[in-house]
Amino acid sequence: MTALAALATFGSTGAVGPLRCHASLTDVAAKLGPPWDIGRVSKRRRWPHLFSYGDADLCVCRCRLITSICVQTWRDTIGLPHPRSGAINSHPAHLTHRQTTSALEAAGCRWQPVTLGQPSGQTALRTEPTGVTFTFRTEGTPEPLLESAGIWTGTHRCVPPAPDAPDDGFGVTEPH
């Protein structure tokens, strides 16, 4: 699967293989192997915490549910996890707005431009109904280039692991 096809699937389903908002990191790690530990969101607290599989960055709540996914596409290559093996497949990057929208349309994924709150040098589009946002750099390039694609969840019911639960390898929970 090409990066464009994988990103079009992300736009239409909100998932990169088994990576999806509200999925359990423990369940994902059982399928794909342990993620790379990027670090804490806050210096004072372990959770929420950032992990990744290649260029798919995850923000994970203390209850181990994925609350956001951001695929970084600004590098020379895009590393995405294989849906079953977890191996990181490398894809050429530098995807244009035209290539991205064509791939979304070929996948039957509707999208709308994001017009509010866009800083200078940037444009974005959001897919329907999943709400994946594709952000493009417009400065210094003849055609807008894809910088990232991401989705996040506003809220979820957080039930942290029980204090006597076995260590899942992702760290200990913290009190509120």
Q: Please, what is the Cα angle at 110 between 70 and 150, to 5 degrees?
A: 5
User: Rounded CA gap, 64 and 161, in Å?
Assistant: 8
| Residue 166: band (very low, low, confident or very high) from pLDDT cuts 50, 70, 90 | low
* Burial class of residue 25 (count of CB atoms within 10 Å of its CB; 0-12, 13-18, 19+): buried
Residue 39 CB neighbours (<10 A): 9
pLDDT digits (tens, 9 = 90+) for 93-129: 899 999 999 999 999 999 999 987 778 889 999 999 9
The CA-atom distances, in angstroms, between 98 and each of 43, 143, 145 are 40, 8, 9
> pLDDT tens for residues 52-86?
999 999 999 988 899 999 999 998 999 998 877 77
Predicted local distance difference test score (pLDDT) of residue 159: 78
Rounded distance between C-alpha atoms, residue 166 and residue 13, angstroms: 32
Q: Phi/psi of residue 7, each to 5°?
A: -70, -35
What is the per-residue DSSP string for 141-166?
Answer: SSS-EEEEEEEE-S-----PPPTTSP
Cut 0.95: pTM above it = no
Report the C-alpha gap between 47 and 62 in whole angstroms. Answer: 5
Q: State the pLDDT at residue 131.
A: 95
| pLDDT at residue 176, rounded to an integer | 40
Integer CA distances (angstroms), 87 to 34, 58, 67, 96, 112, in order: 11, 17, 22, 26, 33
